Structure 1
Amino acid sequence: MAGFFAAINSHQSAVDADLANRLMVGLEHYGDDEGCLLSEESAVVGLHLNKRERQNLSSQLVESDCSELFVFDGRIDNRKSLIQDNDFQALATEFTLTELYNLSDAELLFAWVKCFAGERLQSVVGPFVFVFIDSSTGSVIAARDPMGGRAASYCTVEGSVYFASDESIFSNLEGFTYNLSEPKVARHLLMMLEDQPESFIDDVEVVRPGEIVRWGKGIFSRRRYYKPRFDKAVYEQSLATNAREFRRLFDQAVKRRISADGTHFKGQDKPRKEKVGIMLSGGLDSVPVAISASQQLVSSEAELTAFSWCFPETPEADETHLSAPLCDSLGMTQVKIDCDAEPPQLTQDFPVDPRVPFSMPFVAYQVATLKRAAQADISIILSGMHGDLLYAGAKDVIYRALMKGQVRLAIKEFRVLTTLVGSYMEAIKRYLVLPLLPQAMLSRRRVIRQRHNPTIKRMLRDSLGQKLVGRTHWLMTESTLFPRPEQYQKLFDGSAGEDAMHARFIEAPYAIERRYPLRDLELCEFVLSVPSEQLYHRGQMRPILKEAFRSEIPKSIAERNDKTLFVKPILKQIEADQSLKASLQHQEKHWAHFVKDCYFNDADEKYELRQLALWRCAYYNFWTGRTRVLFNT
């Protein structure tokens, strides 16, 4: 499902039909698929559904006989364990065991939420968001999965509460003032990581990852239901033992995202045999996903097609010399996308997400990929995106070696790390000093560094720069339960989930969903508990992954310790696009509210940062013009 909204009146009168229709208009930005509008006493919900979902409405929406509406977006990945839960079976007496297995994901989660009164969501695995409205009591429960794989925002207007997967829908509300959040826009123009999940629109709140929100009698309450789990036994296991478990969880994560293991429809006994795509580079994120997927599909009728970006004019960014032999060995069809022929020009064909005044140049490459996949009748594309987050934060490897009495190894590690960071002093700071500091002190250090960030000072208006500093990370306290707090914060802060949500707008016109095995909850929880030397050891990145796929990953790929970036071809394309600079001189310089005019000529700033900022500011102007048309403002 591309999008939804849900509304309820606090005074329990019927929701105005004209208002409901205006909210439905907000879902039309997702493409030509049909909408579904359903009212129940003082509540109304609207959905944007593709053809398959329209045929199985119960996979997205549950309507009970007791004035209850339950709208659901996502997947339940651990259906079997939920159904076999003894407490659940004892409470869900209206269903036989066979009937429980035949429930859709939405119906199963609805039953789970009702049985446990909104508690025990910790047991549910999968990307999801739901809104449960009981119009007889005038109450709402909404929740989001811990990885942030689906999204929801909410606001109140004149005593009524509104939830939506897309906050731009609220612009259709009478009495709602649509104002962009200046700090949020500024962070995105800077490419600054979020320290707290926030909406792009003032007076709109987001349901945070792993959070449950309740509303009743005009009062909101919110609570983080997800409790992080550190497994000390895993931390003390050998590389060989942990690599076997890593591989099991990795294969499980891939399997969950292939065909019907993703979304279960009511009455569906066997998985549908579909064509599956994968975005394949020559790196250690997408290659293991391709190997795992090809092995799991070998006995089925499903086809696996690889889509690989190539850069004939910028060969240093081209990895098809690595991915092509792999495709041959796995028997996969490979479709090469010539990204040099897909410059990120801001024309009417460039996708504009009305929710977000932000995009990236490589969206042009993504759109070219989706077009080719749609032509091949592919509805699911696997991606290794955000795999780097799994292995982040292994800065205590020297201390781990010393604790084991491996002094020589500690010295060797220090020498290798010194070479990587460029100086002894930097290595001492990163790998000897910072790992000893408590999180509170590290948080204060980050705040100080932000205040003195030269790019903030050079780029942003002074009044804005002050708004971006001074906040601690929202997961700082619970991240201290893990040996690598930085890794925990990056995995669970919601930024990766937000990226995926932005991508869904781009995917919707092609009826394609990209799925991310490396964002699997159980896989991420496991990696959080492994010792650091299994993430980095003796100058080698990701030893646990390489051990888990030993002899399966080609040597030319397994020995890589670098990551190919697409910055060079993108910079080349930006430099060649004369219209970008011209757009900055538009008579309405919307970007100038945030960015100083002199920034793009600042010789003290890195050329790469200035060029990417130029594109983002040009896009902001472009977005503002397009959304005025979309919102009729």
Structure 2
Amino acid sequence: MSAIAGLSQPVDKRVERSDVARMLDRLTHCGPDGFGIWCEGHVGLGHRMLHTTPESVRERLPLSIPEAALAITCDARIDNRGELIQACGLAGPEGDIADSELILAAYQRWGESCVEKLLGDFSFAIWDGRKRQLLCARDHLGIKPLFYYHSGGFFAFATEIKALFSIPQVPRSLNETRIAHHLIGFFEDRATTFFDGILRLPPAHTLTVRPDGLQMRQYWQADPTVEIRRSSDAEYAEEFRAIFAEAVHCRLRSVAPVGALVSGGLDSSSIACMARNQLQAEGRSGALHTFSALFSEFPESDERSYINAVIQGGGFIPHFFDGDTANPLTDHATVLGELDEVFHGADLTLMRMFYAGASQQGVRVMLDGLGGDEMVSHGARHLEELLRAGNWHEFGQQASGLARDAAHDRESVLREFLQPYFLELKQQRKWWTLSKALLEIPRQVNESIPGFVGDYALRPLVHKWKRRLLRGAPGGHGSASAPDSILADDFAQSIGLQERSLRARNSDAARGRSAREAHCHAINSGRLWLAIEELARVAAPYGVEPRYPQLDKRLVEFSVALPLSQKLSQGRSRAVFRRAMNQVLPEEVRWRAGKAKFLSPFAETLRRYGREFLDATILDTPPALARYFNLPALRQKYQRFLEGADSEAAPVWRASNLIWWLQGLERALPTAKQSSEARQTQATAV
């Protein structure tokens, strides 16, 4: 990705070019192909360029139109170029018109509402000298990051936090609420960062900066009230395929070779095969590089049979990497410096290997299936609606089919949906419905009534009563959800975590009441946009731009509006997607059940390579940092992890990363540079 930065001072103070230059110096890794600075009075804009699209090669940013008193800096790929060129009356060959010109022309035509006319991935800032305002915007799904700081009449923004820290007015004080959220695995705060006062602009939002303050506006969200109706399964699949094909095609626009991650899953395989077909149709046969990890030591994680089925279709330049030896601690301090914040992803080492390999091949664009699960819902929430509607026969059939499709045991699928349903009936005092359900549903799922009632009705009640008792016990304050939480009780209470977390969780539950609302909520998941931001920063030093066809606004809107029967059909999850990929995907991939599990390789390599690091952070936690942690609980989890409990890998990893990051904060923040020699060593292929 390219990078942007800028400043707005009080009107009586000038922004010097050196101020913007300092910010751009921190973003060198994002833009090896040039930089630009524009300053006028109390406003300054900056840009670091990575050439990815053909139009970007001739693009010079920031772009200004003096006669209109406008200037723009942006990191953007606009997909509806022809439509905008026509609507804005732009003249000349389409290939000569840069995406920044399109955005600025759209602003001149529609003002701040221009964002509603744009398709693609973008973050931008437009200075309007006549209105004396700065408009910042981020794309619909948050693919392009944007961070900012505001105090009084001072405002600064940048693609990465490290650029903000080049400005003396920006403080580096920690946001302890964010620290607590990190430790308990709560990611739904979409605005704050690990630093007080430094905020992220959420996806699908604009931020207007005026002398009298800031105004934020959400300009788009997926609408859970819309439902489309077509005449047949085939018609749904045909329309889905057309939109998906366009989403992939838009993201193939590149001045350099294109790569695709191929894990063997439904999403990455579909993207790679569709991209291959489109490149072949354009006369670029064999032009798509693929990047895959193999796990010889972990059969449950090894997808080579599915990967090979895709690659054997031809038209690819495949590259394979050894996932068994992906050390999570490789260049750990460097990664923390690149990310600015504590990272959550377990597989960033693999991703860095892929990006390093791509860089060696001259690949600048990497197609990725991230977001596919959220975009094309698995449809499991349909089971909840069947229960509430009293359609218990259909529930039994779909639940059994889903268990087969997801490669789960039937008991776990039934437990996931029946236990909350019975608790809900009890809380609502629907005794007649409850008694009827306890007699009828066992017949539909081939269970004995006594065993069924014990497993799915009585057991959750007992667990609920136990949790109530534990709330009164030491460590059971509720804010961290369990007495063995790794979060220190006193620390949680000192920042009021219980109130904040419960309020946020209640809000999330309200948004997810219906299946379609839950689908919209998944698309807005904090975990998803955190992963997008982390991958953008990890890829930047390698000169690679990740692109996500599944996170196309048109595809998201269509998928949300689908009837539930197109998301879950005869127990098959993501039914419409599978039908749409007929004659695109190999059949064994199109109808595969379940997904690979990547927790075991991560946990084992962490145990194999990380013992010294984990001992130093968890067993010898510095006293100054110990106040954040329930150390006995953390060390118990660590011991269980060392003994083979992979489920403890996530809390152990979160805690150790936080401790390491806090210890090295001053060292990690000033730069994200990494020697090219070090990067090349990560690209060793199998």
TM-score bracket, shorter-length normalisation = 0.7 to 0.9
Distance 2:626 2:2 in 1: 33
Distance 1:554 1:32 in 2: 39
2:327 maps to a residue whose letter is P
**Residue equivalent to 1:259:** 253
**Residue equivalent to 1:143:** 137
Q: Secondary structure at the match of 1:110?
A: helix
Matches within 5 A, 1:514-593: 514-577=546-609, 578-584=611-617, 585=619, 588=622, 592-593=626-627
Over alpha carbons, which structure has the higher Rg? 2
Shift of the 151–245 alpha-carbon distance from structure 1 to 2, 3 Å rule, reads same
**Residue equivalent to 1:203:** 197
**Residue equivalent to 1:379:** 364
Q: TM-score, normalised by structure 1?
A: 0.85
Q: Deviations over 1:319-339 (max 9, x none)?
A: 112211320123322211012
Shift of the 314–31 alpha-carbon distance from structure 1 to 2, 3 Å rule, reads farther
Q: Secondary structure at the match of 1:161?
A: strand
2:345 maps to a residue whose letter is M
Q: Deviations over 1:388-424 (max 9, x none)?
A: 1123373453577799998754442245568545375
Shift of the 396–460 alpha-carbon distance from structure 1 to 2, 3 Å rule, reads closer
> Of the candidates 301, 319, 329, which is equivalent to residue 313 of structure 2?
329
**Residue equivalent to 1:3:** 3
> Of the candidates 627, 645, 648, which is equivalent to residue 610 of structure 1?
648
**Residue equivalent to 2:485:** 458
Q: Tell me, yes or no, if the aligned pair for 1:286 and 1:384 is still in contact at 8 Å.
A: yes
Say if 2:348 is the partner of 1:366: no
2:185 maps to a residue whose letter is M
Q: TM-score, normalised by structure 2?
A: 0.79
Q: Secondary structure at the match of 1:192?
A: coil
- Alpha-carbon distance, 1:289 to partner: 0.8
Q: Secondary structure at the match of 1:305?
A: strand
Q: Deviations over 1:283-330 (max 9, x none)?
A: 111111111111101132261121110112223211112211320123
Matches within 5 A, 1:184-223: 184-223=178-217
Q: Secondary structure at the match of 1:197?
A: coil
Q: Secondary structure at the match of 2:11?
A: coil
**Residue equivalent to 2:675:** none
Q: Tell me, yes or no, if the aligned pair for 1:3 and 1:165 is still in contact at 8 Å.
A: yes
Matches within 5 A, 1:250-289: 250-260=244-254, 272=255, 274-289=256-271
Shift of the 571–110 alpha-carbon distance from structure 1 to 2, 3 Å rule, reads same
> Of the candidates 105, 108, 113, which is equivalent to residue 111 of structure 1?
105
Q: Tell me, yes or no, if the aligned pair for 2:276 and 2:288 is still in contact at 8 Å.
A: yes
Shift of the 572–76 alpha-carbon distance from structure 1 to 2, 3 Å rule, reads same
Distance 2:169 2:226 in 1: 53
**Residue equivalent to 1:308:** 292
Shift of the 625–425 alpha-carbon distance from structure 1 to 2, 3 Å rule, reads closer
Q: Secondary structure at the match of 1:6?
A: strand
Q: Tell me, yes or no, if the aligned pair for 1:179 and 1:202 is still in contact at 8 Å.
A: yes
**Residue equivalent to 1:600:** 634
Say if 2:198 is the partner of 1:164: no
Say if 2:666 is the partner of 1:628: yes
2:63 maps to a residue whose letter is V
How many residues align? The count is 605
Q: Deviations over 1:260-281 (max 9, x none)?
A: 4xxxxxxxxxxx4x42211101
- Greater shift, 23-32 or 124-133, is seen at 23-32
1:62 maps to a residue whose letter is L
1:122 maps to a residue whose letter is E
- Alpha-carbon distance, 1:488 to partner: 0.2
Q: Tell me, yes or no, if the aligned pair for 1:113 and 1:119 is still in contact at 8 Å.
A: yes
Q: Tell me, yes or no, if the aligned pair for 1:70 and 1:132 is still in contact at 8 Å.
A: yes
Distance 1:481 1:430 in 2: 13
Unmatched segments (≥5 aa) in structure 1: 90-94, 261-271, 439-444
Matches within 5 A, 1:22-101: 22-28=22-28, 30=30, 34-50=34-50, 56=57, 58=59, 60-66=61-67, 67-85=69-87, 88-89=88-89, 95-96=90-91, 98=92
Distance 2:536 2:598 in 1: 22
Say if 2:252 is the partner of 1:238: no
Unmatched segments (≥5 aa) in structure 2: 404-408, 429-463, 465-470, 672-686
Shift of the 519–60 alpha-carbon distance from structure 1 to 2, 3 Å rule, reads farther
- Alpha-carbon distance, 1:340 to partner: 1.6
Q: Secondary structure at the match of 1:75?
A: strand
Q: Secondary structure at the match of 1:374?
A: helix
Shift of the 52–424 alpha-carbon distance from structure 1 to 2, 3 Å rule, reads closer
**Residue equivalent to 1:412:** 397
Distance 2:238 2:477 in 1: 41
Distance 2:560 2:56 in 1: 40
Distance 1:152 1:490 in 2: 21
Shift of the 411–423 alpha-carbon distance from structure 1 to 2, 3 Å rule, reads closer
Shift of the 199–238 alpha-carbon distance from structure 1 to 2, 3 Å rule, reads farther
Q: Tell me, yes or no, if the aligned pair for 2:381 and 2:518 is still in contact at 8 Å.
A: no
Say if 2:437 is the partner of 1:428: no
Q: Deviations over 1:205-258 (max 9, x none)?
A: 322211121121231111112154468562465322111111011111110110
Q: Deviations over 1:522-576 (max 9, x none)?
A: 0011000111121112222211111111244333323322111211111111111
Shift of the 435–537 alpha-carbon distance from structure 1 to 2, 3 Å rule, reads farther
